Amino acid sequence: MPRLIPPWTDMPKFEYAPAPESRAIVSLRESYGLFINGEFTPGVDGRAFKTISPATEEVLAEVTEAGPADVDRAVAAARQAYERTWSVMPGRERAKYLFRIARIIQERARELAVLESLNNGKPIRESRDVDIPLVAAHFFYHAGWADKLEYAGYGPAPKPLGVAGQVIPWNFPLLMLAWKIAPALACGNTVVLKPAETTPLTALLFAEICQQADLPPGVVNIVTGAGETGRALVTHPGIDKVAFTGSTEVGKEIARACASGPRKKLTLELGGKAANVVFEDAPVDQAVEGIVNGIFFNQGHVCCAGSRLLVQESVYPEVLASLQRRLATLRLGDPLDKNTDVGAINSAAQLAKIRELSEVGEAEGAQRWSPPCELPVKGFWFPPTVFTGVSQAHRIAREEIFGPVLSVLTFRTPAEAVEKANNTPYGLSAGVWTDKGSLILWMASRLRAGVVWANTFNKFDPASPFGGYKESGYGREGGRHGLEAYLDV
Amino acid sequence: MSDTANGRLAVRKTYKLYIGGAFPRSESGRSFVVTDHKGGFLANAAMASRKDARDAVSAARKAFPGWSGATAYNRGQVLYRVAELMEGRRAQFIAEVRSADGLGARQAEAAVDAAIDRWVWYAGWSDKIAQVRGAANPVAGPYFNFSLPEPTGVVAVIAPEASSLLGFVSVVAPAIVTGNTVVALASERGPLPAVTLSEVLATSDVPGGVVNVLTGRTAEVAPWLASHMDVNAIDLAAAPADLADDLATAAAENLKRVVRSTEADWTVTPGLQRMLTYLETKTVWHPAGT
């Protein structure tokens, strides 16, 4: 029996002076209209809502709530831009607009990162080093496709679909926007995009970037609002394509809505309950970093988060002790502080959901553990949490928590690991940790998941197709595969 | 199909379901009369029930690991073997297709030949689709990143009404060639060629459960397949128009992959769309380092 180290006692936590990134780079307006036909315009019925910083509950700005009449206007603008401008423009010209956008994103990267962290609550280290660089990369990657679509494997002259209605979540606000808008535009479609109600600000800043890039009016339209706005958009008879990233529950609702009426091409990127499988020969320190990155990256607000840790029994005590020791060094707090590892939960509603499922975990008999961790008084916060003694039947092993909560299970043989990993209606991602290349490929071929990370986790790249099996949705985003979602094939 | 030849009373065939490699009657004990295009009696076919549909899905699920785990080379040969065996029964298929589809001799012959050739066409895809559909992706990091197509699982297909053999083959073959297993609901009006094809499948090298064939009332059985939580995809292209939207709505419950577009002409060489609908793309990040 390996030594069980009292995990939070033997490692001093270094004290760091606060190192906040300056907010001065962001200039917020008091209120924002809808971005329709290249301009910010007020909503028809004058409704608005406030958007806040989840770390402090400070109101950042007021945002227009788009009603059905506004969605109509946006779809009409997108249709007109599609027919008169964008679909008839040579691909090489579309490409240059996308390259322009990518460059402006790079030029304004710091501003975008600060605004993303302000409105979402994610650590600036992540928005600065992961989100925004990937946003620029997505526009660069897809820009190059715009005049090469005939080589993408979808026939000699693949055609765009028309107007795309796109609804995105709050966990990676600008990155999800890029995943949706870049391929749509590259393929010759125009878009109406609805950002999540809690994180509209970087999408509105992106609208300004479209203006700076002189993107023709109506090619990109941004309508802000909540579920009702999203419903009006995806059920709108004037759109040809629906792309949604969000919960499986809403995804199913959209699939039902699209089952009748005018045919719309549909792609869905939904929930997950990924297994992160650690074999006994894995380098423990590296695996622990991967486990932490898998579930505590972005406060666990990641559809492909490694929320089920499967550890081979022989190394379970060692891995758990090492994991607990590592978690005790995580810094939770001000998202704008450059030393922060764990930021704020995005909303009060999400915090309530995380709390509820964690309480269910305890009530069902799993053991709950968090490192000593002081939570700020204001804002929405939840400490990194680990459940041990979890069985496959527990709700915390079956349901997506979408928060910094890890469920730990064990296995003995590779076959048992596969069986347990696949025992879920989801199939978005999985992780494998081992030194053995053949075991990586053996596992990869048996895991029913759209993305398998070996000795790494939560890696993304515009060239790498991303998307799920089973109830994690259908369609792929990224790579040559992702183009299919926006082509009439 | 003539009842007597040279004064001898012909031995008629019993047309049954094909589930898990066996030929059961419907557990419901029901059958229905199948007639030719002029209304003449052909046979009593088994009338599949909800339970039969569920048994067929179980059989298909059970067969999935073995079939999807077979090598592409092996699956290609198995499909080609189906074509070989059909060729040997060509005359029987022509006679049955004439009765079922109401075709003239030459048209029926053309339909059977096209059905046999379609198996050959799909057989060749088994070990090529991954090269056409896969990719090595140049990610910005020390990883070998590749994407490969994998079968989605159990596919339910509602076979076309008017093309009892060629249509049936054209919707079943694109699912199984890549490793999926199938529950197929045969043409309601002309189910017999599909049943005879299941006899070919049973005596070829297609493992039991890879293709399961149901005959009966589409409006009764299809909703159970569309709402079944262990079915991963469904072909609704041939579903009756008044039923298709409801079936697609039911299919959303577990996010089945759905084929909706209708083929205008089964004789035309198909595109990839059916095969691709039943394929998932798996992307693997394999580390590179010393």
Question: Which residues from B are below 8 Å from A429, CB to CB?
Answer: none
- Which class would CATH give A31-270+469-486? alpha beta
Mean pLDDT on B69-79: 98
DSSP three-state, residue A217: coil
Question: Which residues from A are below 8 Å from B251, CB to CB?
Answer: 255, 259
pLDDT tens digit string along B98-123?
999 999 999 999 999 999 999 999 99
Give residue A13's pLDDT band: very low, low, confident or very high (50, 70, 90). low
pLDDT tens digit string along A283-307?
999 999 999 999 999 999 999 999 9
CA-to-CA dists, residue A417 to A93, A313, B273, angstroms: 50, 11, 34
Gap between the Cα atoms of A152 and B280, Å rounded: 18
pLDDT of residue B247 exceeding 90, the answer is: yes
Q: Do B284 and A444 touch (CB under 8 A)?
A: yes
Mean pLDDT on A420-432: 98
Task: Note if A228 is an active site residue.
Answer: no
- B138, B283, B286 member nearest A450 (Cβ): B283
Gap between the Cα atoms of B271 and B275, Å rounded: 9
- Which class would CATH give A275-454? alpha beta
ipTM greater than 0.90, yes or no?
yes
Residue A1's pLDDT is 40
Q: Do B255 and A471 touch (CB under 8 A)?
A: yes
DSSP one-letter code for A380:
-
Mean pLDDT on B154-173: 97
Chain B residue closest in CA terms to A137:
B140
Averaged confidence pLDDT in chain A: 96
Q: Do A450 and B253 touch (CB under 8 A)?
A: no
pLDDT of residue B15 exceeding 90, the answer is: yes
What crossing angle do the helices spanning B90-101 and B72-88 adopt, rounded to 10°? 80
Which domains are delineated in chain B? 18-287 (3.40.605.10)
The domain spans of chain A are 31-270+469-486, 275-454
Instruction: Provide DSSP, A76-124.
Output: HHHHHHIIIIITTS-HHHHHHHHHHHHHHHHHTHHHHHHHHHHHH---H
Give residue B5's pLDDT band: very low, low, confident or very high (50, 70, 90). low
Residue B261's pLDDT is 82
DSSP three-state, residue A382: coil
User: Which residues of A, range 401-440, sit inside 8 Å of B by Cβ?
Assistant: 425, 437, 440
Give residue B2's pLDDT band: very low, low, confident or very high (50, 70, 90). low
Contact (Cβ atoms closer than 8 angstroms) between residue A103 and residue A96: no
Question: Which residues from A are below 8 Å from B282, CB to CB?
Answer: 444, 449-452, 469
User: Which residues of B, range 18-57, sit inside 8 Å of A by Cβ?
Assistant: none
Taking the whole predicted model, whether its pTM rises above 0.90 is answered as yes
CB contact B232 to A (< 8 Å): yes
CB contact A476 to B (< 8 Å): yes
pLDDT tens digit string along A107-128?
999 999 999 999 999 999 999 9
